[in-house]
Structure 1
Amino acid sequence: MDVVTDLILQAVASPWLLPVMFAAAVIDGFFPPIPSETLLVAAAAVAAATGDVPTLVALCLVAALGAAIGDNIAYAIGRRVGTQRYGWMRRRRVAAAFERARAALTTRGASLILGARYIPVGRVAVNMSAGALGYPWRRFAPLSVVGGMSWALYSVAIGTLAGQWLGHQPVLSAVIGVVLALGVGIIIDRIAALRRRAREIPETIEPEPVSATLRA
């Protein structure tokens, strides 16, 4: 974790920040271990703490564009390889995420694609499943743009809040912003899990046969 934090802080201070942010957002769309949210929040916190508004705007734009491209790459991968070809796809947690995505895409595709953008593993599963299951790209593409922009605005807002709160302490602002973003992400993931369980419970309860009720 310390190594990741050091790398993020080095990227924030680098003149290559915007290209790095763009690349991280693209890769994170189909490879979750790349911490694009963490980098974006940390960079936004530093920019806000130093009053660098142009960098804040640029960060939001390049992150949104990268996120949309990354999500479409995940869709294309799903279209090409499906969701069963590689071993990591068949791991219990990943396979379960794919299965939930399959069940939900047909009934609430738009809300699922937009909501999954905020959950690192969830968005890869949903977007790859959308491609593998033939969800129309003409619907997916504009949703990916909207999702990327809303995600970027949300992450920059958290970083800006931390940066303004701590004033002229950019490094501490970055750390606090990352912690806050992780906390919000965990809350979103828990709420999604609770809603999912609430929908699954009624499906597992079978009504008692009428004949048995009458005999009783």
Structure 2
Amino acid sequence: MNWTDPSAIGYPALFGGVLLGSVIPIVPTGAVVGAAAAVAMTTDHLSLPLVLLLAVAGAYLGDVITFAVPRFGSEPLLRFVERRQQAERLAKGREQFARRGWQLVVIGRLVPAGRIPVLLAAGTLGYPWRKFLPSGLLACVLWAVAYSLLGILSGGIFDSPLIATLLATVLVLLVTAVTTLISKKRAAHQTEGHR
């Protein structure tokens, strides 16, 4: 491997960063994908199709791991959750996953800070693998395309990889902040409606 070639570092950093951030949310995975797409648009160091493929692969593997943790330890974890939650809330969660689980998985991946709670709930509540795997893949594809588009947009505006990467990162953070704000307002509105 030629370590002076930027792609020798870029592709593993992209895949590893997305995988790590998908399991442990310490890496802003959307910013990693947006920045890689911006670099792909402004240089020949990275290929946009490979950026998309590796982003999807890293996100999907991370989501499968996150979903699998409560599935394989589901009995002790479920007993722990049952002690902490009301039985009707658990029943409602199971019912929601039974009716529209694939939608919850897709939306959870696209909404900031929604993915891990949805995946842990799905795993804990016994959402079937045969339903999770295709919906998880669809969610990861949509997510990777959305964040790559932000990088493509910034790369199309600026020729400088540095400026395009910075703009992609700012766009990702802005989109994340706006969607988080909207989610919080909707949750507050729903809470008021239930009173």
TM-score with structure 2 setting the length: 0.80
Cα deviation digits, residues 66-107 of structure 1 (max 9, x gap)? 11111111000122345x96xxxx9xxxx9xxx899485455
Structure 1: unaligned runs, 5 residues or longer: 1-11, 205-216
Check if 1:37 corresponds to 2:30. yes
What is the count of residue pairs matched by the alignment?
A: 181
What percentage of aligned pairs have identical amino acids? 30
Tell me the amino acid that sits aligned with residue 31 of structure 1: I
Structure 2: unaligned runs, 5 residues or longer: none
Cα deviation digits, residues 26-84 of structure 1 (max 9, x gap)? 2222210022221111111122122x4961110001111111111111000122345x9
Q: For residues 164 and 16 of structure 2, what CA distance do their matches in structure 1 show?
A: 23
| Alignment match of 1:111 (pick from 103, 123, 128) | 103
Match of 2:143 in 1: 151
Q: For residues 53 and 71 of structure 1, what CA distance do their matches in structure 2 show?
A: 28
Q: For residues 28 and 119 of structure 1, what CA distance do their matches in structure 2 show?
A: 15
Tell me the amino acid that sits aligned with residue 72 of structure 1: V
CA RMSD of aligned residues (A): 3.0
Deviation at 1:128, TM superposition (A): 1.3
Tell me the amino acid that sits aligned with residue 46 of structure 1: V
Check if 1:21 corresponds to 2:11. no
Match of 2:69 in 1: 77
TM-score with structure 1 setting the length: 0.73
Match of 1:5 in 2: none
Tell me if the contact between 2:60 and 2:140 (Cα under 8 Å) persists in the aligned partners. Answer: yes
The 1:185–1:126 alpha-carbon spacing in structure 2 relative to 1, beyond 3 Å, is same
Deviation at 1:118, TM superposition (A): 2.6
The 1:24–1:131 alpha-carbon spacing in structure 2 relative to 1, beyond 3 Å, is same
Deviation at 1:200, TM superposition (A): 3.1
Q: How do 1:82-93 residues align onto structure 2 when only pairs under 5 Å count?
A: none
